[in-house]
C-alpha cells in the first residue's frame, strides 16, 4: 500500500498539536492508506514537545517527532520533514489547522484523476487578517511575479500534496536561504490549486509579526530574482545621463549669464537625492552579498536534538 507522509512544522503549538492529530488522522484513516505524521518541534518554548511525545507514545506507528536543538524557523522544519519522510506521497501542513485536513481526500482524488504531481491550495479570501497585512501580501505577490521567473499564485499556502518525484526534486535544491513558496513552484511539474476561504487558527497565536513577514518577503525576492540589482544599475544610468545634461545646462548658463553665487538649495537637493540613491544601491548589493556570505558558509539549516521514531 502506498504511504502518505504528513510534515508538520511546530513552533509553540502546545494547544494545537493534539487537535491537529485528531482531525487529520480521522480524515486519513477514512482514506484507507498507510500514513505517518512527522511533527518537527522547531525549538518551541512551551510544552509542544511533551504534547508531541504524548501522541508518539500513543501512536508509535504513525507519529514521528523530530526535535530541533533550537528554533530554526519554519523553512528549517519543512526541510527536515521532507528529508526524513519516506512516503510515496507527501503533504505539508501547518499545525494550527489553518490547512483543513478535510481537503486531503480531494487532493488525492485530483492527483489520481488528473495525473498531476502537485496539488496545492490557495486562499481566495483573507478574512480575519489585518487589512494592512493583506495589502502588503498582495503587493508582494505582484512584485515577485513581475520580477522573478517563478509564478507564485496570490494566496498560495504551503499546504500541498506532492509525489515522491517532486519531493526529491525539491531536496536537490541545496540552498541555505530556502524560500519554500518559491522553491515549490521553481521545481515545476504539473500543478493544480484548490481554492478555499481563509480559516483562522484553532488556538494559540501566529508567530509571524509584520516585520518578520516583511523580511520574509524581502528574502523571497532576493532568493528568486536579481531584478533589484538591475534596477539599481538602471537608475544609476538614468541619473548619470540626466546629470550630464544638467551639467551642460549649467556650463551654458554660466557662459551666457556669468556665474553669480546662487543655487544652494538645488545643490543640496541634488546631493541629498544622489546620496540617498547611492545608499539604496549599496543596501541592495549588501543584501545579495550577505546572502552569498551565508551560502558559502554552508551551515546546516537545522540541528536535530533527537528523533523519536
Ligand atoms: N512555525 C515553525 N517555526 C517558526 C514559526 C512557525 O515551525 O519559527 C510553524 C507553526 O508552528 C505553524 C506554521 O509554521 O505550524 C505556520 O505558522 P503560523 O501559523 O504562526 O503562521 P501564519 O499561519 O499566521 O502565517
Ligand atoms: Mg497559521
Question: What does each of the 309 residues of the chain score in pLDDT, given as a tens digit?
Answer: 789 999 999 999 998 999 999 999 999 988 888 999 999 999 999 999 999 999 999 998 899 999 999 999 899 999 999 999 999 999 999 998 888 898 899 998 889 888 899 999 988 877 777 788 888 888 888 888 888 878 888 888 889 999 999 999 999 998 898 888 889 999 989 899 988 877 777 777 777 788 888 888 888 888 888 888 888 888 888 887 887 788 888 788 888 887 666 777 778 778 877 887 888 888 888 888 988 898 899 899 999 999 998
Is residue 213 situated within a structural domain?
Answer: no
User: How far apart are the C-alpha atoms of 146 and 74, rounded to whole Å?
Assistant: 26
Q: Are 24 and 94 in contact (CB under 8 A)?
A: no
Q: Closest ligand 1 atom to the C-alpha of 93?
A: 15
pTM of the model: 0.79
Is residue 212 situated within a structural domain?
Answer: no
- 248 and 202 in one domain? no
| Boundaries of domain holding 31 | 3-130+153-207+300-308
Does residue 201 have its Cβ closer than 6 Å to ligand 1? yes
- CATH number, domain of 94, equals 3.90.550.10
Is residue 146 situated within a structural domain?
Answer: no
Number of domains in the chain: 2
The neighbourhood of ligand 2, an ion, using CB within 5 A, equals: 94, 96, 98, 201
User: How far apart are the C-alpha atoms of 300 and 298, rounded to whole Å?
Assistant: 6
- 202 and 246 in one domain? no
- 180 and 273 in one domain? no
Q: Are 201 and 260 in contact (CB under 8 A)?
A: no
- 165 and 103 in one domain? yes
Residue with cell 546572502: 291
Residue 206 Cα to ligand 1 midpoint, Å, equals: 7
User: How far apart are the C-alpha atoms of 248 and 242, rounded to whole Å?
Assistant: 10
Is residue 142 situated within a structural domain?
Answer: no
Is residue 44 situated within a structural domain?
Answer: yes
Torsion over CA: 251, 255, 256, 260 (sign):
positive
Is residue 160 situated within a structural domain?
Answer: yes
- 243 and 203 in one domain? no
Is residue 304 situated within a structural domain?
Answer: yes
What is the side-by-side strand order in the sheet with 156-163? 191-196, 118-123, 156-163, 89-92, 3-10, 34-41, 63-68, 304-308
Is residue 136 situated within a structural domain?
Answer: no
Which three cell numbers mark 167?
519531493
DSSP count for the chain of H helices, then E strands: 10, 8
Amino acid at each position: 500500500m502506498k504511504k502518505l507522509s504528513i510534515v508538520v512544522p511546530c513552533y509553540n503549538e502546545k494547544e494545537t498539536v493534539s487537535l491537529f492529530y485528531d482531525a487529520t488522522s480521522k480524515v486519513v484513516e477514512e482514506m484507507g492508506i498507510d500514513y505517518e505524521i512527522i511533527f518537527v518541534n522547531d525549538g518551541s518554548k512551551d510544552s509542544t514537545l511533551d504534547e508531541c511525545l504524548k501522541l508518539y507514545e500513543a501512536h508509535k506507528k504513525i507519529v514521528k517527532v523530530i526535535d530541533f536543538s533550537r528554533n530554526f524557523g519554519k523553512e528549517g522544519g519543512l526541510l527536515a520533514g521532507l528529508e526524513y519522510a519516506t512516503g510515496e506521497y507527501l503533504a505539508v501542513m501547518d499545525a494550527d489547522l489553518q490547512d483543513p485536513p478535510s481537503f486531503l481526500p480531494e487532493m488525492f482524488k485530483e492527483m489520481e484523476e488528473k495525473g498531476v504531481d502537485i496539488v496545492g491550495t490557495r486562499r481566495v479570501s483573507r478574512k480575519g487578517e489585518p487589512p494592512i497585512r493583506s495589502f502588503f501580501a498582495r503587493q508582494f505577490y505582484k512584485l515577485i511575479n513581475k520580477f522573478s521567473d517563478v509564478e507564485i499564485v496570490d494566496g498560495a499556502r504551503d499546504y500541498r500534496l506532492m509525489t515522491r518525484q517532486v519531493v526529491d526534486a525539491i531536496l536537490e535544491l541545496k540552498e541555505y536561504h530556502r524560500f519554500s513558496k518559491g522553491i515549490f513552484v521553481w521545481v515545476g511539474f504539473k500543478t493544480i490549486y484548490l481554492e478555499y476561504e481563509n480559516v483562522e487558527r484553532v488556538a494559540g497565536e501566529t508567530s509571524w509579526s509584520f516585520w518578520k513577514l516583511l523580511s520574509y518577503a524581502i528574502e523571497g525576492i532576493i532568493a528568486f530574482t536579481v531584478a533589484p540589482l538591475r534596477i539599481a544599475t538602471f537608475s544609476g544610468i538614468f541619473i548619470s545621463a540626466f546629470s550630464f545634461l544638467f551639467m551642460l545646462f549649467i556650463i551654458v548658463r554660466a557662459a551666457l549669464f556669468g556665474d553669480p553665487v546662487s543655487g544652494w538649495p538645488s545643490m543640496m537637493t541634488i546631493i541629498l537625492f544622489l546620496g540617498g540613491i547611492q545608499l539604496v544601491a549599496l543596501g541592495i548589493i549588501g543584501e545579495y552579498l550577505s546572502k552569498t556570505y551565508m551560502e558559502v558558509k554552508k551551515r546546516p539549516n537545522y540541528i536535530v536534538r533527537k528523533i523519536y521514531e
